[in-house]
Amino acid sequence: MKKSIRPENMSVNVYYEDIHSCPICNSKISPIYLYGKALFNKSKFSLFCECPSCGKTFTAFYDSLTNNKYNNMSEYNASDLGYIAPIFPETKIFDEKISNLSPNFVETYNQSLSAEKYNLTQISGMGYRKALEFLIKDYCIYKNPDKKDEILNTFLGNCINTYIDDDKVKNITKVSVWLGNDETHYIKKFEDKDINDLKRFIDTSLYFILYNLNADEAEDIINSQQ
Ligand SMILES: [Zn+2]
């Protein structure tokens, strides 16, 4: 939703796209907009905001400021939200079983998440692809401990084909790898997919792995009662 503010160096309103989360506490919010400043010579716009959740202030920078004229009135439009500062690295908390299975996945995923928050999308995409490799290979090693060396030295796609039985899960992990590879190659194969699709498929792979880890634990409990 568009909102507007009257910057101190302007006599008309500037309309801008609403901000939905706080870069400091990561809460989903509707910020309190305190102050706007138009940078006419650079066609940019800065917005000073307060988070109603943590009470801290931050600044949003819009990369475009354009003049819209209608009915002989003038108004400005700020768009292309470039970045919000300050940025604090975000840490996603994973289930303890996932952290134990693949600490490398958790570390690489969270580094990628931080890179994404800094708008380093070229790097974050590659990072998610690497995190996915740790996750799937560690899971395959957990299921086939005697094949550890083979798994570590096999391409991820081959690993999935060989060690993941369920066809639906095979498809999910396979597509995750394809989307991840797209983040590392010069030419993108799946133009209509982006980093959010990759994260969505990684999340789904995580559900499958966690489901299996919990099922194995339940089986152990049942066996211990016999
Ligand atoms: Zn906050």
Distance 52 CA to ligand 1 centre (A): 7
Question: 173 φ, ψ to 5°?
Answer: -70, -35
Q: Which residues are within 5 Å of ligand 1 (an ion), measured at CB?
A: 22, 24-25, 51, 53-54
Distance 117 CA to ligand 1 centre (A): 15
| pLDDT one digit per residue (tens) for the chain, 226 residues | 788 888 877 788 899 989 998 988 889 999 999 999 998 888 999 999 999 999 999 999 999 999 877 666 678 899 999 888 888 777 899 999 999 999 999 999 999 998 988 878 888 988 999 999 999 999 999 999 999 999 999 999 899 999 998 888 888 888 888 888 888 887 788 877 888 888 999 999 999 999 999 999 999 999 999 8
Distance 99 CA to ligand 1 centre (A): 27
The single-letter code of the amino acid at 222 is I
pLDDT at 72: 64
Distance 31 CA to ligand 1 centre (A): 9
Distance 165 CA to ligand 1 centre (A): 44
pLDDT at 34: 93
How far is 197 from 193, CA to CA, in rounded Å? Answer: 6
Task: Assign 166 to helix, strand or coil.
Answer: coil
As given in the structure block, the two tokens for residue 191 are 């133009």
Distance 39 CA to ligand 1 centre (A): 26
Classify the C-alpha dihedral 172-138-128-60 as positive or negative. Answer: positive
Distance 214 CA to ligand 1 centre (A): 35
Count the alpha carbons within 13 Å of 174 in the hemisphere toward its beta carbon. Answer: 13
